[in-house]
Amino acid sequence: MPTDQADQGARSPTGSGSSRPILQYVDVYKRFGDVEVLRGLSIDVHEGERLSLIGPSGSGKTTVLRLAMTLEEPTDGLILYDGRLLAGEPKGGGDRPSRRARRQMARDFGMVFQQFNLFPHMTVMRNLTEAPRRVLKLQKDEAAQRALNLLEQVGLAGLEYRYPQQLSGGQQQRVAIARALAMQPRVMLFDEITSALDPEIVGEVLAVVRDIALETSTTMLIVTHEMRFARHVSDRVVMFDGGVAVEAGPPEQIFDAPLEARTRDFLRAISHGY
Amino acid sequence: MSTITLPTDQGAHLLAISWQWEFAHRVLPDLLEALWVTVRVTIFASVLAVTAGWVWLALRKTPFLPVRAASWLMLEFIRDTPPLVHLFMAFYVFPIYGVTWSPFMVGVVVLGVHYSSFVSEVYRGSLAAIPSGHFEAARVLGLSKLRTWWSVVIPQVLRESLPALGNVVLALMKETALLVAISVPVLMTVAQRAGSRSFRYLEPLTVAALLYLLFTIPFGLFVRRMEKRHAH
């Protein structure tokens, strides 16, 4: 464990390796038609860990998140949550989780999308309270109070009765983050949350994520193209290419002294791209 | 008064068409009453069309193939055959099988069902316009399928469909003229009756047309405004 606080940035107090895995990918394959997006992926994500996935477009990073959310089914391999089967066909025909059990597990996950996906016909307030009320069965004022606190936290107090299209992209994405947090998930999945934003507002969104990382112990899986952000917020970074994890390690290793040529090439390519 | 005289001398006075205010006045009360019938048919049939449109959409989205196939076939039949056929079918044939509806009821049901096939197309287009991300977001938030439809899908489909639904109501109102065929006392029927009684069609038909316009023009403007606001 690094002891230097400044260097450690927004990383979780526990760090990786010190606690049990909350989410495990065991030799996961995913094919879309002829395209093999994941080719035998195995990663353990630990409770409280902040794990960033980096790599070229089409390397399967987003699919990793969508599999955890059961928005996609693995072609082969297993995904375990908290030691229980979440997705995949166990070899030798073990128990498949019931729909109910899967939904129960999915409730522990929150996801933020590249395209925000706020409900355009609902106010910010209703976007934030709909799921807590309908799924968690919170009372109306309890859900509203939770929403107001979250809006405060993401720096959008006072905008609760606006509609999404009345907000900037950065504000919309912050609402989407608040919406996911309103369900109090144990695991947050961030899928290229700044890719659809203008460069000058990327910072405000990432700052919100960093603050959440600092203030909570939520496990985070982050797919991003923002390398400085990944370095700052992650306990561990996984470099993806061609459907496999090429290299995994602490951000210092990945960004300052990558072991693999492909990681080096990727980092060089994107730094020249800007 | 302007007079158009046809270029024949015998019977010219009979065929001469000249506007008579007095006659227009005389037929007005009946036509106003007919307007009310027309509006009622339009409202009831519209409500039926807008509601049944959902039923069609649900049937077409069911995972059970035979139901999907059957509903597709029925929709094609309804959409691609003249509504007059349905009208006569319901009016003359249904009673044989014990289904005896009043002409008003037949009119409402036939027009409502006919236009529901268009409404379901409208809904289908609006549904396709909802980004798949909204369904995923709902799923990620743990909303049930039913809840997702109720809170996320239906409001958006309705909002997206509103201008097109306005046009359906407009078309439906004009189509009520068809009910002359089964003697529902709508504007067209009453105007035609007044004309045949007196051999003067000019005034009743003109007044009837103006009464249609009284509704269709403001409503049309309203729909156009909706479309514009929608397009932004």
Q: What is the pLDDT of residues A84-101, one digit of tens each?
A: 888 888 776 667 778 788
Write the residue in B136, B155, B159 that is nearest to A117 by C-beta. B136
| B residues 68-87 closer than 8 Å to A (CB) | none
Chain A nearest C-alpha distance from B55 (Å): 23
Write the residue in A111, A121, A180 that is nearest to B155 by C-beta. A121
The pLDDT tens digits of the residues spanning A116-169 come to 999 999 999 999 999 999 999 999 999 999 999 999 999 999 999 999 999 999
φ, ψ (nearest 5 deg) of residue A236: -150, 145
- Give CA–CA dist A142/A167, Å, rounded: 25
Give ∠ CA A153-A155-A158 in degrees, rounded to 5.
105
Structure-block tokens of residue B173: 């109102």
pTM: predicted TM-score of the whole model, two decimal places: 0.81
Structure-block tokens of residue A18: 């010190």
Helices (H) and strands (E) in chain B, counts: 10, 2
Structure-block tokens of residue B204: 């009743």
The helix (run of H) or strand (run of E) holding residue B51 is: helix B21-61
Nearest CA in chain A to B139: A71
State the best of A115, A127, A186, A189 to mutate against chain B, taking most chain B CBs within 10 Å.
A115
Amino acid at A182: A
- Give CA–CA dist A209/A183, Å, rounded: 16
Contacts of A213 (CB under 8 A, 6+ apart): A10, A11, A12, A50, A220, A233
Structure-block tokens of residue B31: 């036509």
User: Does B12 score more than 70 pLDDT?
Assistant: no
Asked if the Cβ–Cβ distance from A117 to B151 is below 8 Å, we say no
- Give CA–CA dist B112/B138, Å, rounded: 33
The pLDDT tens digits of the residues spanning A62-74 come to 999 999 988 898 9
Contacts of A102 (CB under 8 A, 6+ apart): A70, A86, A87
Amino acid at A180: A
User: Does A6 score more than 50 pLDDT?
Assistant: no
* Mean pLDDT, chain A, whole residue set: 87
How does strand A76-81 pair with strand A187-191?
A: unpaired
Chain A nearest C-alpha distance from B120 (Å): 21
Distances (CA, A) of A264 to A59, A154, B123: 16, 35, 51
φ, ψ (nearest 5 deg) of residue A71: -80, -20
Write the residue in A109, A117, A135 that is nearest to B134 by C-beta. A117
Chain A nearest C-alpha distance from B140 (Å): 7
